[in-house]
């Protein structure tokens, strides 16, 4: 759940991204940074630690990120450190993506299949999803051999389950009900 701090910072970043048309790049950078901090909890702990001085934190930010991220994101990281908000980075990145997708008409859709999608099927699926949602689609593909065949599509809070596994489970339940009844 996004906090008011997450929303304030993400809205400010999106405003900057709007001006210089860098929302897509900024979203990617924020996501990458949140992933780096998630994968390296020691780094996040140091950048949030009250026992580490602001100067030491800024020096660390400079050594690690200067020249490796855009100037805007580098400055943003410095602001997070000086305002003692570095621990909010992950939430800000999530909120930024949510606001960015909403404003730019993007939907993230996850499709789970038993085997990887072939190019032709992916193209057909993308076309149908674009038409269905009326938005640009970012497709996240997952494979799960346990679904046997078909696909499971999730978007937001909705799910369309056309997997063979679910069909078999439904048939099993129906047969069980018929025998028991």
Tens of pLDDT along the chain (181 residues)? 668 999 999 999 999 999 999 999 999 999 999 999 999 999 999 999 999 999 999 999 999 999 999 999 999 999 999 999 999 999 999 999 999 999 999 999 999 999 999 999 999 999 999 999 999 999 999 999 999 999 999 998 899 999 999 999 999 999 999 998 6
Q: Which CATH architecture has domain 4-102?
A: Orthogonal Bundle (1.10)
Quick one: residue 180, left, alpha or beta (phi over 0 = left, psi -120 to 50 = alpha)? alpha
pTM for the model: 0.81
Closest CA to 108 of 135, 132, 127: 135
């Amino acid at each position: 759940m996004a906090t008011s701090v997450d929303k304030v910072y993400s809205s400010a970043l999106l405003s900057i991204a709007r001006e210089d048309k860098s929302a897509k790049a900024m979203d990617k950078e924020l996501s990458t940074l949140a992933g780096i901090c998630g994968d390296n909890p020691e780094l996040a702990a140091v950048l949030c630690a009250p026992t580490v001085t602001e100067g030491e934190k800024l020096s660390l930010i400079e050594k690690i990120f200067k020249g490796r991220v855009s100037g805007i994101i580098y400055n943003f990281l410095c602001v997070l450190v000086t305002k003692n908000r570095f621990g909010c980075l992950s939430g800000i990145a999530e909120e930024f993506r949510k606001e960015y997708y909403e404003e730019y008409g993007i939907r993230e859709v996850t499709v789970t299949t038993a085997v990887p999608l072939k190019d032709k099927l992916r193209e057909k699926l993308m076309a149908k999803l674009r038409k269905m949602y009326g938005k640009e689609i970012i497709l996240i593909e997952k494979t799960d051999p346990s679904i046997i065949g078909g696909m499971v599509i999730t978007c937001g809070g909705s799910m369309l389950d056309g997997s063979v596994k679910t069909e078999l489970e439904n048939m099993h339940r129906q047969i069980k009900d018929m025998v028991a009844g």
